[in-house]
Structure 1
Amino acid sequence: MKKRNGMKKVLLYIGLAVGAIISLFPFYWALIGATNDSGKMFSKPPKLLPGDKLIENIVNLNDSIGIGRVMFNSLFVSGVYTILALLICTMAAYAFAKFHFKGRNIIFSIFLISMMVPYHATVIPLFKMMAGWGWLNTYQALILPNLAYPFAIFLMRQNMLAFPTALIEASRIDGAGEWKIFWKIVLPSMKPALAATSIFLFMYQWNNFLWPLIAVSSTDMYTLPVALSSLFGLSRIDYGQVMAGVSLATIPIIIFFLSLQRHFISGMLGSAVK
């Protein structure tokens, strides 16, 4: 029996190792491509060892899209959006979870139904709205739409449903206001859910391509996905630059995720159980 269990563990670890290699290989391939010439991307046999063209590719990438400005735009837009959206979605989730008002379930159902509406169907009216306000080619046009992200509200609400209502009522009896209850009592216990939600919001905005492509026209306002797409022209494509840009675009997401990984896992498991 012990030998049989040992074989199962060995097979399990082998399967996990193979899955990890398959998952990490695209990132490794991008890093290898960033250190080699464009022509070596599709060589046979494929080149799997780092080259010596990393600095050259990054310099060429900077000459093509201005990587410093583009990275600042993406970090600024994604960071501000994550903070504002997290605040709005958390307050909405708290209201849906702990306040009893007429039509609460109907309004929440509308939020869930809105997740089924194709994003492309909202682009034209949103563009007309931004144009009417004179917000095109501005940071507010990139940040303010979709602050009330339905999935983030749903995720936070599921976690807040498990928060003891008796504790909130006791705080009210002691004279605490609603804002104090929300900031001092409820939010500190929601750290895992806040971490999980912030990761979703940051990744959503960081990878957003269609709306920034439509909302901005100046290269100074390009975010990283839009700037990288401009490298694919009708003439020769420098895949060394492309892979260098992809590698740089991946680093902030990995750092952000790893810094909140422990809270992310506990938050997701908590929402599933609750």
Structure 2
Amino acid sequence: MNPRLAKALINGLLIGATMVALFPLLWMLSVSFMPPGGASALPPPLLPKHATMSNYRELFVHAGMSRYLLNSLLVSSAITVLSLAFNLMAGYAFAKLRFAGRERLFQALIGALVIPAQVAMLPLFLLLKYIGLVNSYAGVIVPGMATVFGIFLVRQYARGIPDELLEAARIDGAGEWRIFMQIVMPLLKPIMVTLAIFSFLAAWNDFMWPLIVLTGQEHYTLPIGLASLAREHAQDSELMMAGAVVTVLPVLLLFLAMQRYYLEGLLLGSVKG
């Protein structure tokens, strides 16, 4: 086959696959600007005949979407900051610090990856209920403070830090905390960006755990708020699509803006050590 023809065929297939993947998102955005009932016509219109912002006004003025948005920002930001702190320290410790049972403990953590998250939800819920964290922001934030995947990712990257650099700092009299803050942290910046994006996206999109632990509507995050809104306005497709846009658009823009750093960090973490 002619190389130019093969290249054109491959590019055409990729463009076609991209359009298939993007079409639902673009149609969701289009429907969100349609007046009530506008998407129910047959055949369904691709573009609104008379674009309107009424659906977004309804969401933020009467449906409480602004509160859900602030809740999601609060919970996702807190989880991102705390998971960065704990995952970085734990990953570095497993990579560079020697302590009794280090390898066995790390193997146990890796083994926990094969356990479905749903299995741990009931005992975790009972534990949080016992300490009084059910129906609170802390009930959502505390379980996300550290993850096995985050520890593993940091450990793999931190193994590439030269031991000689750390030993030289110790010989100069630097303590472990100073070594971690002034030497290790700057070297972990690529994986920090990746882990921060991953943690924020996971926390923002999480539906199951907040649904279990949050019982008061004032604490709802965006995914739960959108689900509760769907029960009240099941026939209002335009309003639901506007809510979906509000839920998806912030993290989509964040990922598109930071995807280069995200992918670089994943690739570096997979080859270090």
TM-score range, shorter chain: over 0.9
The residue identity in structure 1 corresponding to 2:122 is: I
User: Is the partner of 2:31 in helix, strand or coil?
Assistant: helix
User: Is the partner of 1:176 in helix, strand or coil?
Assistant: coil
Give 1:236 shift. 4.1
Question: 1:32 touches 1:51 (CA, 8 Å); kept in 2?
Answer: no
Counterpart of 1:201?
Answer: 199
Q: Does 1:66 align with 2:64?
A: yes
Question: 1:50-83: per-residue Cα shift (whole Å, max 9, x none)?
Answer: 4545421112223553011110000010001101
Give 1:229 shift. 0.6
Question: 1:28-65: per-residue Cα shift (whole Å, max 9, x none)?
Answer: 12101211245343543332114545421112223553
Give 1:155 shift. 1.1
Structure 1 residues 219, 53: CA separation in 2 closer, same or farther (over 3 Å shift)?
Answer: farther
Task: Using the aligned pairs only, state the percent identity.
Answer: 38
Equivalents in 2 of 1:54, 1:247: separation in Å? 15
Question: 1:54 touches 1:244 (CA, 8 Å); kept in 2?
Answer: no
Structure 1 residues 127, 230: CA separation in 2 closer, same or farther (over 3 Å shift)?
Answer: same
Which of 97, 115, 128 is 1:99 aligned to?
97
User: Is the partner of 1:260 in helix, strand or coil?
Assistant: helix
Structure 1 residues 107, 44: CA separation in 2 closer, same or farther (over 3 Å shift)?
Answer: same
Q: Higher mean Cα deviation, 8-17 or 78-87?
A: 8-17
Q: Higher mean Cα deviation, 61-70 or 246-255?
A: 61-70
Which of 5, 8, 12 is 1:14 aligned to?
12
User: Is the partner of 1:254 in helix, strand or coil?
Assistant: helix
Counterpart of 1:190?
Answer: 188
Number of equivalences: 272
RMSD of Structure 2 on Structure 1 (CA): 1.9
Give 1:124 shift. 1.6
Question: 1:191 touches 1:263 (CA, 8 Å); kept in 2?
Answer: no
Question: 1:195 touches 1:264 (CA, 8 Å); kept in 2?
Answer: yes
Equivalents in 2 of 1:76, 1:15: separation in Å? 41
User: Is the partner of 2:37 in helix, strand or coil?
Assistant: helix
Question: 2:91 touches 2:158 (CA, 8 Å); kept in 1?
Answer: yes
Give structure 2 stretches of 5+ with no counterpart: none
Question: 1:184-205: per-residue Cα shift (whole Å, max 9, x none)?
Answer: 2112122221111111111111
The residue identity in structure 2 corresponding to 1:201 is: S
Equivalents in 2 of 1:143, 1:54: separation in Å? 37
Q: Higher mean Cα deviation, 148-157 or 74-83?
A: 148-157
Counterpart of 1:24?
Answer: 22
- Residues 38-187 of structure 1: matches in 2 within 5 Å? 39-63=37-61, 65-187=63-185
Structure 1 residues 144, 15: CA separation in 2 closer, same or farther (over 3 Å shift)?
Answer: same
Counterpart of 1:227?
Answer: 225
Counterpart of 1:249?
Answer: 247
Q: Higher mean Cα deviation, 70-79 or 113-122?
A: 113-122
Give 1:261 shift. 2.0
Question: 2:32 touches 2:239 (CA, 8 Å); kept in 1?
Answer: yes
Question: 2:31 touches 2:47 (CA, 8 Å); kept in 1?
Answer: no
Equivalents in 2 of 1:165, 1:140: separation in Å? 38
Q: Higher mean Cα deviation, 172-181 or 41-50?
A: 41-50
Question: 2:35 touches 2:52 (CA, 8 Å); kept in 1?
Answer: no
Question: 1:139-186: per-residue Cα shift (whole Å, max 9, x none)?
Answer: 111111132211111111111111112111111112222112112211
Structure 1 residues 236, 20: CA separation in 2 closer, same or farther (over 3 Å shift)?
Answer: closer
Question: 2:84 touches 2:196 (CA, 8 Å); kept in 1?
Answer: yes
Question: 1:203-248: per-residue Cα shift (whole Å, max 9, x none)?
Answer: 1111111111121121111000110111232774311111111111
Equivalents in 2 of 1:97, 1:234: separation in Å? 51
Equivalents in 2 of 1:54, 1:115: separation in Å? 47
Give structure 1 stretches of 5+ with no counterpart: none
